[in-house]
Each structure stands twice: as C-alpha cells, then as structure tokens.
C-alpha cells in the first residue's frame, strides 16, 4: 500500500504549542513550511462534524498577524490592496487581496481597523514573508510602521463556539461576524474564521494561549481539530485556499472574488494591479471558478483535468475531497467560461465521473452577522 | 489451518489452502484515516505480485493496495461500496478487500509473519 503523498522533507517550523498537540495525540505533517497537526485521534471525519455541531479549536499560528500603524496607515493599505481603508469602521474586518501588477492574487488577507491610524492584517502562512516584503515596498515613503507580531493564533469555530467562548471568559458579547477588537494588551480577538461556521480567531501571547487553550479544552463541547478537517470544512464552505484555488495566475474576476473589491475602489484605482484588473473586467473572462459536485462517492482531487463533452480539456480541479457534512465528494476548480454548466466530467483511472457545477458553499454558512 | 502473512507495504494475506483473503493492516488504516471510497477490482482479474489491485481513498488522499502474490481474484468485499469505513473499524476482519486464488504459494515465503510485521512498524 502507498501512503498519502509525503510532503517534501524541508526543515519545518514547530508551532509554539506543539507539546499540547503531542499530548492530544496529534499526527503531524508539513504545510506551508510548518509542522502542523493534521489529525487527532478523533479522526478527520469526526473532527469535521464535531466542529460543525459543537466547537472546534484550531491552532493556526502558522498564519501571520501584522500591525500597521501610523498617520498614513490608510494610504499604505489603499495602495497595497484594492480596498477602501477609510470606509472601514472602527473594529470592522474586511476580506481583501494582495494583487501583483498583473492583478494576479499574491495572497488573501483580512484587514481590521484597530484605531484611527492602526490596522491588523492577517496573512497566510506560506505567503507571510513575501506579504511583509510587499507591504513594506508598497508603503515606501509613507509614515506607517509595519510590525509582524509574535503571537499564537487560535480559532474557535462551530455552532457551540459562542457558548464555549463565553464559558471560557472571552469578551465576545456584542461582537458580530467580521469584527475584531483588542480586548487586552497584545490580544486580538475577531469574530471570523474559515469553516463557514460562527466563531472566533484569537491572536495572543504564548503563555496566555496555553491558559486559554487549556480552559477551552476542559469544556466538553470543545475539541482540537486538525488541518485535514480544516481543509474539508473550508472547501464545503466554498472558501478559497491560496496556493490552490487562488494563485498569482488567477485574477479576481476569474476567481469570482470581485465582491471583495468595492465598486468605488475599482473606479478610483490607485492600488497595485489596478490597470490589469480594469482590463480583466473589461474583457470577457476565459475561465471562471466554480464549485463542482462529482457524481457518486469517489473523490476528485486537486489536479484532475476537467473535460468537456468532446473529451477536450475544459479546466482543472484546484481543491477536491470528501465533504463529511455534505456527505458526498466536493470540489472546486476553474472551467472555461464558454462551456455550459452541464458539460463537464473527469476521468480517474479510466472511470468517467460527471462533474456538476454546484453553487458554493456546499453547506450553508452560519455566520453571526448580528 | 489459516496462516496470515504481512507485506512491507502493510497488506495482510490470510491463506487457507490455495486461496487467500487480502486486506490492509490496522496500522495502515490508522495512517490513512477515515476512508470514504474503495475502488474494488473486477472478479476474475489476474494479478501479478505488486500490481495495484485496489484504491482506497481517505478524506484527503488516494492510496494503492498492492497484490502480495500472483493469482486470480475470486471475490471482492462488496460491503465496502456502501460502507468504506469498515476498513477503518475492522481492517483485519469485515474490512477485507478481496479473495484470490494463489498461483504460486512459494511467494508467501518472502512475506512476514505477525511478529516480524510488528517489528517492521516499530
């Protein structure tokens, strides 16, 4: 029997709370340069379902928090990203993109206003260093300090996340989806996440994180959830994984992420990638990102070639697996924009599997929008 | 009397006379995690040792299961079509994969017994 693809044996960084994951019986694997807990003894299927129905605790310390502060913090962000920082109210969070000058997606970010001249930026693990360099380059000449923060980053997600957070003493009352606050010095607490469920993300110093994780895990509704279930949760929720579903080879039009770019910002321009984005908007996109439901029970994985009725290549699957809550295989990918929704299939080991274009998400979002 | 042998690739083969049942070990199912799909071969197919006979798919990945010996497939475990998780819950029992007629019983000599396999997985 062959094992699942082993990841390249590059030296991996350990999470600050690694010992807690070891104690919990985690199996580790490499992701974006980090040795991450992939599954716990509960197993990916039960972890996934536990998160949806109760509360899942994730260690996402591989992700990076940056604090941007200074009189020209707004100007720096407006140049760096297709976003209107001035329009972000105090404690509101916005999903945005870091584009290159071809409007390719270098990363997706969450930006939260912390004060009149201060923002929190959350970046993906694999891109953190490049993002920092880009942010610095784009802020050149502006009066803003970009500070990478040394934090443990935890996510508490699921139907029971709010109740568990309150029992653990987290000040979450009044916080709605896509709001973030600094409840204590060196803490960042936002109502957000990447599972499609209600929940929170908490950046905090290691000692505080150990105490908080211990308190949360003593709650019978809370369990550690590994990266494998994080991936199936976000895929069911129709959320993009940067590096797979969105890359520098995709622009926001093809990726279906124009909702993240306010109309006024598109018209005004002034951000890196503005010209290329305007051109992409003016032209009919050659391809589009779609949800795909494979027929039957066999998962269709990232890299599978999407074929049209004539057997010609019509796209590629960028994420695919089994959806434990959907209880069927789920996938996402890019298809030629000139092909009808019912035209697609793939072949796996000689088996033809129909791929139905499926609205995203596969499982309804349950965010607490207030 | 049945004797069980093991491969380095974590298959088990339980032999009785010139027929055998093949599955993956408990260690293997644990490494794979929850299975969501098992692609079974056709009955009557002739296998050479080392052929990929079955594909087991977990939530995250697909893995091949190899034939431990030459032979012909006599039966497959149809129950896995509806319940692939049987391989997780009973890897060495109800989660068996296929039954085969052995072409060359001497090939078993190269396989491990339970004690050697235990040592192999450490």
* Contact state of A349 with B39 under an 8 Å Cβ cutoff: yes
pLDDT at residue B1, as a whole number: 66
Q: Which of residues 90-109 of B touch A (CB under 8 A)?
A: none
Could you give the count of Cα atoms lying within 13 Å of A52 in the half-sphere of its Cβ? 19
Average pLDDT over residues A359-363: 97
Residues paired with B58 in a beta bridge? B35
CA end-to-end span of chain B: 28
A324 and B66 within 8 Å at the Cβ level: the answer is no
Number of neighbours of residue A141 by Cβ within 10 angstroms: 10
Residue B21: is it exposed, middle or buried by C-beta count within 10 angstroms (0-12/13-18/19+)? Answer: buried
A24-57: pLDDT as tens digits? 999 999 999 999 999 999 999 999 999 999 999 9
Query: How far does A167 lie from chain B, in Å, by closest CA?
Result: 32
With an 8 Å Cβ cutoff, are B57 and A322 in contact?
A: yes
- At residue A9, the pLDDT reads 57
CB contact under 8 A, B37 and A299: yes
Return the domain boundaries, chain A: 13-61+151-236, 286-370
- pLDDT tens digits in sequence order for chain B, 122 residues long: 689 999 999 999 999 999 999 999 999 999 999 999 999 999 999 999 999 999 999 988 899 999 999 999 999 999 999 999 999 999 999 999 999 999 999 999 999 999 999 999 98
Residue A2: which of B39, B58, B63 has the nearest Cβ?
B63
The ipTM (two decimal places) reads: 0.88
Q: Give the CATH number of domain A286-370; options: 3.40.50.1970, 2.102.10.10, 3.40.50.720, 2.40.30.110.
A: 2.40.30.110
- Cα distance from A74 to chain B (closest Cα, Å)? 41
User: What value does the mean pLDDT take over residues A59-70?
Assistant: 98
Identify all chain B residues contacting A234, using CB atoms and an 8 Å cutoff: none
> CATH for A13-61+151-236, among 3.40.50.1000, 3.10.129.10, 3.30.1360.120, 3.40.640.10?
3.30.1360.120
Delimit the domains of chain B by residue range. Answer: 3-105
Average pLDDT over residues A115-129: 96
A6 pLDDT band, cuts 50/70/90, is: very low
The pLDDT tens digits of the residues spanning A248-282 come to: 999 999 999 999 999 999 999 999 999 999 999 99
Cα–Cα distance for residue pair A169/A163, rounded to 1 Å: 10
Angle between helices A44-53 and A227-236 (to 10 degrees): 60
A1/B9 Cβ within 8 A: yes
User: Taking CB atoms and an 8 Å limit, are B28 and A1 in contact across chains?
Assistant: yes
Of A96, A44, A63, A41, the residue nearest A325 (C-alpha): A44
Helix (H) or strand (E) holding B55: strand B52-58
Q: In whole angstroms, what is the distance from residue A249 CA to residue A241 CA?
A: 14
Q: Which residue does chain B place closest to A48, by CA atoms?
A: B59
Q: How far lies A226's CA from each of A39, A59, A208, A300, in Å? A: 5, 8, 21, 21
Could you tell me what percent of chain A has a pLDDT over 70? 97
Burial of A212 (0-12, 13-18, 19+ CB in 10 A): buried
Question: What one-character DSSP code corresponds to residue A127?
Answer: G
Q: Do A44 and B58 touch (CB under 8 A)?
A: yes
Assigned token pair, A143: 């009066």
Tell me how far apart the alpha carbons of residues A164 and A222 are, in angstroms, rounded to a whole number: 7
Q: Which residues, other chains included, contact B90 with Cβ-Cβ below 8 Å and sequence gap of 6+?
A: none
C-alpha to C-alpha distance for A173 and A165, rounded to whole angstroms:
10
**Alpha-helical regions (H) of A220-290:** 227-236, 252-255, 263-268, 274-282
The better pLDDT of the pair A349, A218 is held by A218
Residue A3: which pLDDT band, with cuts at 50, 70 and 90?
Answer: low
**pLDDT value at residue A370:** 78
Q: What is the pLDDT of residue B60?
A: 80
Could you say which architecture CATH assigns to the domain B3-105? Beta Barrel (2.40)
A190 at interface of B, judged by CB pairs closer than 8 A: no
How far off is chain A from B46, nearest CA to CA, in Å? 18
- Structure confidence at residue A340 (pLDDT): 87
Q: Answer yes or no: do B58 and A4 touch at CB < 8 A.
A: yes
Mean predicted lDDT score pLDDT of chain A:
96
User: Mean per-residue pLDDT for A337-343?
Assistant: 90
pLDDT of residue B2: 85
């Amino acid at each position: 029997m062959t094992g699942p693809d082993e990841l390249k044996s590059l030296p991996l960084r350990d999470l600050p709370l690694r010992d807690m994951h070891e104690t919990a019986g985690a199996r580790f694997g490499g992701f974006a340069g980090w040795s991450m807990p992939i599954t716990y003894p509960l197993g990916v299927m039960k972890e996934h379902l536990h998160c949806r129905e109760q509360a899942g605790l994730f260690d996402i310390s591989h992700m990076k928090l940056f604090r941007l502060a200074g009189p020209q913090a707004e100007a720096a962000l407006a140049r760096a990203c297709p976003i209107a920082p001035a329009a972000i109210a105090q404690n509101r969070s916005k999903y945005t993109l870091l584009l290159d000058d071809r409007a390719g997606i270098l990363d997706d970010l969450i930006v939260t206003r912390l004060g009149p001249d201060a923002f929190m930026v959350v970046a993906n693990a694999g891109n953190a260093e490049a993002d920092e360099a880009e942010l610095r380059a784009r802020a050149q000449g502006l009066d803003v300090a970009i500070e990478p923060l040394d934090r443990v980053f935890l996510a508490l997600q699921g139907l029971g996340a709010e109740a568990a957070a309150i029992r653990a003493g987290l000040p979450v009352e009044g916080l709605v989806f896509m709001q973030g606050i600094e409840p204590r010095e060196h803490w960042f607490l936002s109502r957000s996440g990447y599972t499609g469920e209600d929940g929170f993300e908490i950046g905090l110093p290691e000692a505080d994180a150990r105490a908080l994780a211990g308190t949360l895990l003593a709650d019978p509704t809370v369990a550690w959830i590994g990266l494998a279930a994080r991936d199936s949760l976000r895929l069911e929720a129709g959320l993009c994984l940067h590096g797979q579903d969105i890359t520098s080879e995709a622009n926001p039009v093809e990726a279906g992420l124009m909702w993240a770019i306010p109309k006024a910002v598109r018209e005004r321009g002034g951000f890196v990638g503005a010209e290329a984005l305007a051109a992409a908007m003016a032209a009919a996109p050659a391809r589009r990102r779609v949800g795909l439901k494979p027929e039957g029970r066999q998962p269709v994985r990232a890299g599978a070639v999407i074929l049209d009725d004539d057997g010609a290549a019509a796209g590629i699957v960028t994420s695919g697996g089994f959806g434990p809550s959907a209880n069927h295989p789920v996938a996402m990918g890019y298809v030629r924009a000139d092909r009808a929704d019912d035209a697609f299939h793939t072949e796996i080991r000689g088996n033809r599997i129909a791929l139905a274009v499926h609205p995203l998400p596969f499982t309804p979002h349950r965010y607490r929008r207030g | 009397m049945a004797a069980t042998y093991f491969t380095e690739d974590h298959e088990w083969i339980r032999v009785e006379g010139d027929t055998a049942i093949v599955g993956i070990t408990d260690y293997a199912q644990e490494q794979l995690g929850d299975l969501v799909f098992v692609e079974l071969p056709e009955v009557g197919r002739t296998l050479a040792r080392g052929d990929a006979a079955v594909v087991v798919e977990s939530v995250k990945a697909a893995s091949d299961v190899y034939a431990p010996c030459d032979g012909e497939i006599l039966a497959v475990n149809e129950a896995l079509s509806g319940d692939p998780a049987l391989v997780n819950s009973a890897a060495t029992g109800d989660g068996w994969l296929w039954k085969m007629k052995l072409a060359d019983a001497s090939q078993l000599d190269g396989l491990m017994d339970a004690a050697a396999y235990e040592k192999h997985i450490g």
